[in-house]
Amino acid sequence: MGAVQFLDLAATSAVVTATSGRKAKIDLLAGALRRLDPDEIAAGSAFLAGELRQRQTGVGYASLRDRPAPAAEATLTVGAVDAAIAEISTVGGTGSQARRRDLLGALFGAATVDEQRLLIGLFGGELRQGAQAGLLTDAIAKAAEVPVTSVRRALLLSGDLKQVAVAALTRGASALAEMRLRVGTPLTPMLAQSAPDVGAALLATGTPATVDVKIDGIRIQVHRSGDEVAVFSRSLDDITARMPEVVAAVRGLPVRDIVLDGEAMTLDGTGRPRPFQETSSRAATRDSGGPTLTPFFFDLLHSGGADLIDEPGRVRWAALADALPRELIVGRAVADTEEQAAAAFAAALAAGQEGVVIKASEAPYDVGRRGSAWVKVKPRHTLDLVVLAVEWGHGRRRGWLSNLHLGARDSQTGGFVMLGKTFKGLTDELLRWQTQRFKELATGDNGWVVEVRPEQVVEVAFDGVQTSPRYPGGVALRFARVLRYRDDKPASEADTIETVKSLGSPLAPPA
């Protein structure tokens, strides 16, 4: 089997985009995966998922707009494209902008019309072909002739679709079975659903339930093996160098190996939480002279050589209490009744915290899933949405990008559904920041509306959900206003249109 032409993947991508049936999409993707050489699987599976292997390339919208004419004949292979993008992503130093432009021009100049179209989608992050992790997971299973459950579990444990594709397609089910939690390799974290009150949360989790204080901090996953400690973000980025206080706290534990899930936040002199923006700013830099980050852990995934993710929550949390001092564990209580849960909720708010997360005591750690086993409750209605476009301001806001077009994630298509617009809650500082941010994400500007890549997550508060024929989802938010930008969350973790619709119309206003 020879090297696969990049045009083959471009053609598959185009056909998948035009195909509506899930099974047909999976068959197309599986066929493309089978044709890949072993050394092309990592890059090829990423391309089919609409992604690049390289997280940062330095290629922006303006660079994609100014490109050479397409080639008449296809000469690029999957491996050659991956190598070219890898070279582009490592350019740095004096003259790097010109060098990157030359390399990008050479790549696009060697690409046909269809190949250029795929490259633009990959660099721009705008491929909407439905070949995201769910579809590609099924396609990998079909191509490798292994159970899809084996592929899914391997993906959850490794957090790397490309690695799973290589293992499945080169060594089969036995290679997938060998994939276990590895200290030092981050897992996609378990996530929580939302509920309007503790009563609704308990209906989902059952009782008795554990009620954790919901900390308004930065999600962290900490791995220790011997004296080596690594800290990972919600998006699995290595942020160890930015978290010296967290490293020191975990290195001081009397353990050899451990994997912890928790959050880090900044506190004031009385021990109350500082605003999230201060925590986010501190976590984004290596400035150890800034506010101190304090870790609080709420789950234990591995300890003493044993994986705990399949154990019930009550077992994991008991092991956590044995392994860590009390001051490193999030505040938590057990609730048998709604009254007890409400009391814990009130106590969390009184302490300046964001709310609570109510957890089913018998549930395993559901890696990478947002199920009903964990349910968060806040004192106001909030959603994490994605900015789809921004309008130029007028009057006092002239020259700034102001009115945000808000979208919820569509879990069925992998796209986003618009819910409305807002310019409420934006301070001058946020206006300055978002103007620069959305210029970087821009894909088009008609002088009034700037279309952007759907990557930036924003947390909004709102008074209710109402039916609306104006928007494609049939619903809109009432009185939406910006609370903060969530740079710690990728768009793939934004709230879904299904979640929005489940909130009802209208919601009762927050107390």
User: Which residues lie across from 193 on neighbouring strands?
Assistant: 375
Q: Are 7 and 76 in contact (CB under 8 A)?
A: yes
Residue type, 324: L
Report which of 182, 129, 157 is spatially closest to residue 22, judged by C-alpha positions: 129
Residue type, 110: A
Neighbours of 78 (CB within 10 A): 26
Q: Are 272 and 480 in contact (CB under 8 A)?
A: no
Active-site annotation, residues: 214
How far is 27 from 137, CA to CA, in rounded Å? 12
Report which of 275, 288, 208 is spatially closest to residue 459, judged by C-alpha positions: 275
Residues 6+ apart with CB under 8 A from 370: 191, 192, 193, 493
What's the number of CA atoms in the CB half-sphere (13 Å) around residue 299?
30
Report which of 118, 155, 166, 132 is spatially closest to residue 29, judged by C-alpha positions: 132
Q: Are 58 and 100 in contact (CB under 8 A)?
A: yes
Neighbours of 447 (CB within 10 A): 6
Residue type, 419: L
How far is 490 from 511, CA to CA, in rounded Å? 30
The DSSP 8-state label assigned to residue 356 in this structure reads E
Transcribe 261-281 into DSSP letters: EEEEEEB-TTSPBPPHHHHHH
Neighbours of 387 (CB within 10 A): 25
CA angle in degrees (0–180, nearest 5) for 158-163-169: 125
How far is 78 from 85, CA to CA, in rounded Å? 11
φ, ψ (nearest 5 deg) of residue 376: -95, 145
